Amino acid sequence: MIELCYRFTAASGSRFLVPQGMATPHIAPLGQMVTGAALRLMAEPRLAQMLTCGIATGGEIQVRTRFQAAGGPGEFSYPEAMFVPRPSRYTAAAVDLAKEGQHVAQAAGAGLAGIEAIVRHVAELFEYGHPEDRFYDDQEELPHLCSMTVGSCVDINAYLVAALRGAGYEAGYVYGVFVPEDKRTWAEDGHCWVVSRHAGQTQEWDIAHFLKMGRRDIGPALNPRPGVRVPMAHSMGWTLPEVGLQDFKLMGPPLLLGETGDISDPEDLEITLRGYENLAQP
């Protein structure tokens, strides 16, 4: 059994959102338990995903999501909804970006080689970091980059998904938690990665981890840095009419909803994990 726990505090009556986990070929959610809040469920029907919407009773809140590791190949799989393109300014490729992706893929011979060529090309466009202003802020689509840009895992993977889809490939975005080998029981924050699918074969990509390790030899592997991943949600561009969100970037760790519609991260969020050894890869 694997259990991911979010722990934070919130004033009585304040609301928060947290996804309920998602399945991958490696792991799948079994259930979620929340203490310190009254609960209701909420759905993003286009993405086929459920959220827990909590109303804090005051004090500490714990959100514990239990997972099971796959017992063998084919037991679990990525959800189909993850690969379906939908209108969103966080995933739509500008015309020049789509054309460049198509050119890069065709020059490599298309197919799986084309996917890898696009991934490596995108990696050459980024230095890893967390800029205050992102290259796609205030844009209605992912713009074409002509020079190196600083970006986080969120920024890099948004661009990668747009480039792959613009070139005609199936691609999906996963957000969750990465727990490094040197921590094993806790994580500092969330993390995201990309999954491509072509001719029935899925491949997983994490440009950001390669770049953080000073490497640009990007390959289809999730763990260039030893550790495990716990997936909580997929896709960018969430619409939740019941709380007034339209084309919201992503869902991952808990989000606090203010009375005036503002959204913030809990300042005292702690992320812990039990069962690291049940998910660690040999």
Give per-residue pLDDT as tens, 11-42.
Answer: 999 999 999 999 999 999 999 999 999 999 99
By C-alpha distance, which of 44, 129, 108 is closest to 79?
44
Task: Name the E strands within 96-237.
Answer: 126-128, 149-151, 170-180, 186-187, 190-198, 201-205, 227-234
Instruction: Report pTM.
Output: 0.94
Q: What is the pLDDT of residues 172-230, one digit of tens each?
A: 999 999 999 999 999 988 999 999 999 999 999 999 999 998 998 898 887 788 899 99
pLDDT band for position 282 (50/70/90)? very low
Q: Bigger pLDDT: 125 or 189?
A: 125
Q: List the structure tokens of 47.
A: 């993405």
* Residue listed under structure tokens 């661009």: 159
CB atoms within 10 A of CB 241: 9
Instruction: Give the lowest-confidence range in 89-103, 153-167, 225-239, 248-262.
Output: 248-262
Q: Answer whether 233's CB lies under 8 Å from 18's CB.
A: no
Instruction: Give the lowest-confidence range in 16-30, 135-149, 249-263.
Output: 249-263
- Kindly list the structural domains of the chain, giving each domain's residue range(s) and its CATH number in brackets, ordered by start: 2-73+235-279 (2.60.40), 83-230 (3.10.620.30)
The whole-chain average pLDDT of the chain stands at 94
